[in-house]
Amino acid sequence: MEQTTIIIYVSGALALFAFLSFILLQLRLKKLFKGKKASDLEYVIATIGGKLESQTEEQQKIKEHLNDIEKRLKTSVRKVGVTRFNPFEDLGGDQSFAIAMLDEHNNGALITSLHGRERTMIYAKPIEKGKSTYNLTKEEAETIQKAIGS
């Protein structure tokens, strides 16, 4: 008789636990649905799925655009060096200058302006990997090094 009583108490406790779990589940489902039908929930899930797919496509477009920007950035002017100097002893002031404009790979151009009393001369020299095929003055070489170091 004692075993029967224990079995009844255990069964009752399990039934009470199952009933309380069921009530808690019902409350959670009620909170989730908030008075909506299951078909509304399916619509919400489908809408979220569509938005997620759209965001994935948009993310891919952004990655492609970023790659394009990175390619263009490598060939844009990223390093600049400027040197002012006086190439002629009979003139006062540093009116002459050299400007080096280089990309990420130290390719670009060097522009030099020599200012004299009678005229100003401007020269342009191509720069590849930090060097020029043309002879450089010490000011021009200094300017390229300033740009590379910037």
Query: Residue ranges per domain, the chain?
Result: 34-74, 79-149
Closest C-alpha to 128, from 101, 109, 107, 111: 107
What is residue 46's predicted lDDT score, i.e. its pLDDT?
Answer: 81
Q: At what angle are helices 38-74 and 2-33 packed, to 10 degrees?
A: 60
What is residue 37's predicted lDDT score, i.e. its pLDDT?
Answer: 64
What is residue 146's predicted lDDT score, i.e. its pLDDT?
Answer: 94
Integer CA distances (angstroms), 36 to 27, 29, 48, 103, in order:
14, 11, 17, 60
Closest C-alpha to 100, from 111, 115, 114: 111
Task: Kindly report whether the global pTM for this prediction surpasses the value 0.85.
Answer: no
**Confidence category of residue 43, pLDDT binned at 50, 70, 90:** confident
